[in-house]
Homo-oligomer: A and B are copies of this chain.
Amino acid sequence: MFGAIEAGGTKFVCAVGTSPDDLKLAQFPTSSPEATISGAIEFLRDQSDGELKAVGIGSFGPVDLRLNSPTFGYITSTPKSGWQNYDFAGAIRTALSVPVGFDTDVNAAALGEARWGAAQSLSDFLYLTIGTGIGGGAVVNGRVLHGLLHPEMGHIRIPHDFNHDPYLGYCPFHGDCLEGLASGPAMQQRWGESPEGLPANHPAWALEAHYLALGLANWVCTLSPRCIVLGGGVMQQHWLFEMIRKDLSQSLNGYVRAKELMENLDRYVIPPGLGNRSGIIGALVLAEQAYQKQQELGSLRRK
């Protein structure tokens, strides 16, 4: 039995179980680290009867994922009050005395989709969330991409025609980066209405699809994924998928000559197979990986 935590800036989701079909879930708002983590630990303890083998965490960021870093498992320079330089993985490990797997929320979601969702058996794909922010988790050659720190995909720059859309953008760092133009808060600020409140025939959606398609085109050219899974609150407006596909096809303009992109975009740009549970189920995969790694280390030591 594994424990899982999906740590978001506004809410925490916790789970205990073994698979998507065997999962006890709880959810509560993110407050101070002490209160929030205590709540998570209590839930994991209560639901597992002391049978927990490992815990996986998919966390909001930025986080430190460098395995040999003294601050591995920390949330680092977040603007979120109280959470700066917080030893997230360490707090859970100390409280529960089990191995802890740790990654970004979007990398966890990508792992969830790879294991039980829409990207099963794909060696190379991209998971994106479009919601409060925009973030991406990439799997390359069957492994999650981390690199120097971890990607911050929402912050790529795309063409922005000020004549057509004079909105300056929401991002405090970059103004009109993709997240600044196309996240939920950007839509809310530009149109004075939240994404859920904007009807399907509102011009907001053509613009939103256009910006997201430009981002997707850049990631197709850079990562050459075998599919792109789009999750997050904004994508709950399902008409967006077809609008994004059409705009992406125009953006690429037949340059990347793969059947998947030329003919089968409806199977290339797709919703998550796990709905809004990709992240928490991915955290379960992180727990499993942490457990396996400990077993392997133990077996190496015995040899």
Residues in chain A within 8 A of chain B (CB atoms): 62, 76-77, 124, 136, 138, 140-141, 143, 145-160, 173-174, 176, 214, 217-219, 221-226, 251, 253-258, 260-261
Contacts and interface: CB of A to CB of B under 8 A. Distances in A.
Contact of A157 (B138, B147, B158, B176): B158
Nearest to A257: B77
A214 B156 CA distance: 8
A224 B145 CA distance: 8
Q: How many copies of this chain are found per oligomer?
A: 2
Given A147-B124, A256-B149, A258-B148, A218 B222 contact: yes
A80 to B, nearest CB: 15
Contacts of A136: 222
A260 B76 contact: no
Given A157-B217, A218-B222, A222-B136, A141 B152 contact: no
Contact of A224 (B150, B218, B256): B150
B221 A153 contact: yes
Closest 10 CB pairs of A and B: A147-B224, A124-B147, A156-B218, A173-B255, A140-B140, A148-B224, A155-B221, A152-B221, A141-B143, A173-B253
A151 B77 CA distance: 32
Contacts of A155: 221, 255
A223 B147 contact: yes
Given A136-B222, A156-B221, A158-B159, 16 more contacts: A124-B146, A140-B140, A141-B141, A141-B145, A147-B224, A148-B258, A148-B261, A149-B256, A152-B221, A152-B256, A154-B221, A157-B214, A157-B251, A158-B158, A174-B251, A222-B223
Contacts of A77: 257
Contacts of A151: 221-224
A140 to B, nearest CB: 4
Contacts of A253: 173-174
A289 to B, nearest CB: 15
22 contacts: A62-B257, A77-B257, A140-B145, A141-B141, A141-B145, A145-B224, A147-B223, A147-B226, A149-B224, A149-B256, A150-B224, A151-B224, A152-B255, A154-B221, A157-B159, A157-B214, A157-B218, A158-B158, A158-B159, A173-B253, A173-B255, A219-B222
